[in-house]
Amino acid sequence: MREVLLAQQENDEDRILNLSLRPERLTDFVGQPELAENLTVAIRAAQKRAEPLEHLLLSGPQGLGKTTLAHIIANEMGTKFTATSGPAIERAGDLIGILTNLGEGDVLFIDEIHRLSKVVEEFLYPAMEQFQIDFVIDKGPYAKTIKFNLKRFTLIGATTRSGFLTAPLRARFGLAYHLNFYELADLVRILQRSAGLLSVRLDAAGAQEIARRSRGTPRVANRLLRRVRDYAEVKHDGAVTAEVASAALDAQGIDRLGLDPVDRRVLKVILDQYAGGPVGIEALAATLNEEPDTLVDVVEPYLLKAGLLRRTPRGREASRQAAEHLGLAPKTLL
C-alpha cells in the first residue's frame, strides 16, 4: 500500500537526489547525538589500533539513517562499502563470493538482517567470529570441507525489527545502537542543509512547517522538501515559505501531524469498524487488504510515537487523540 504510493512519488531523479543528500562524515550527520558520539569514539579507537571496527548492529524504524551511517563508517575508516540485504541472500553460497571479495577492514552492510535464512545465518557465525568460512563440496563419502580464510572485515547489520533477531546472531555484534525518531530542531537543520544542496530558497518558517509534517524521519523530510519545491516552482516564485509549504503538503494529503491517506485509513478502520479497538493485527490487515508486516514495519511506528495508536496484549487500540484529529466521535477509547 504505502510502498506503491512512495514508488509513485519517487522517480529515478529523486532517488539520485536522495543519495546526493547523504552526509559523508559524522561531523555532518545531524541528530542521534549519543549514537554519533559513541561511533566517533569507536572509530577513532579502531583507527588508533589499526584494526577494523567491531561488527555493528543498527536498529530502528525505516528512514532514520541506518544505511547513511553505514556509508559514513566506511568513509571514516577509508575502506570499501559493499551492500546487500537479508532477503537477497537465499543460500550460503550466495554469501561466499561477497565475503571472499572483501578486503582488510571493508564494510559489509546487510539491510533487514533479521530476514536471513537460518542456514545463511549459521554460515555467517564463523565468518564474524574467526573470519573463516567452511564450504562443503560433494555429498556422502565424497564430501569435502574447504576452509576459506577471510580478511578482517566489519559487518554492519540493519533491522527494523530487532526482536526478530536470534540471540546467537545478536551476541556476535560488538556494538549495537537503536535509532530514535528525530527532534523537530534536527529535522529543520537537515532540511536547511538539503535545501542548500538542492538550491531551494527555504525560509525558517517553511523549514519548520515541513519538519512538523515529516513524521520525525529525515527520509520523509527530504522527500517532502522535493515535493514542496516542485509546488513552489509551479504555483509560486520558487521560494518556500510556511504558507507555500502548508498548501503543497495539504495538496499531497499530508496533514498537520504528518499523517498521509494510508495512516488515516488505518485509524479510521480501527475507530469505525472496531469501535476504537482492540483489534488483532491479522484482522486489521485483512480488513485493509494489506500485509501485516507492512502495517507493523511501515505504518505503526510513527502512529505509536505520536500517541495515536497503542499496542496491547489484546490488539491495537486507537486513542482519543486519533478520534479528535480525524473528527470522529470517540467511542470506547483510551
Residue 111: phi and psi, rounded to 5, are: -80, 150
Q: What percent of the chain has pLDDT over 90?
A: 45
Q: How confident is the model at residue 104 (pLDDT cuts 50, 70, 90)?
A: very high
Q: How confident is the model at residue 182 (pLDDT cuts 50, 70, 90)?
A: very high
What is each CA distance from 108 to 2, 133, 154, 241, in whole angstroms? Answer: 29, 15, 6, 42
- The amino acid that residue 227 corresponds to is R
Task: Return the active site residues.
Answer: 66-67, 111, 160, 219
- Mean pLDDT, rounded, of the chain: 86
Domains and CATH numbers, the chain: 32-178 (3.40.50.300), 184-251 (1.10.8.60), 261-326 (1.10.10.10)
Q: What is the mean pLDDT of residues 100-128?
A: 90
Picking from 121, 172, 163, 130, the residue whose alpha carbon sits closest to that of residue 149 is 130
Question: pLDDT of 49-70, one tens digit each?
Answer: 999 999 999 999 988 999 999 9
Say whether pLDDT at 48 is over 90.
Answer: yes
pLDDT of residue 312: 87
Say whether pLDDT at 7 is over 60.
Answer: no
pLDDT of residue 54: 93
Q: What percent of the chain has pLDDT over 70?
A: 89
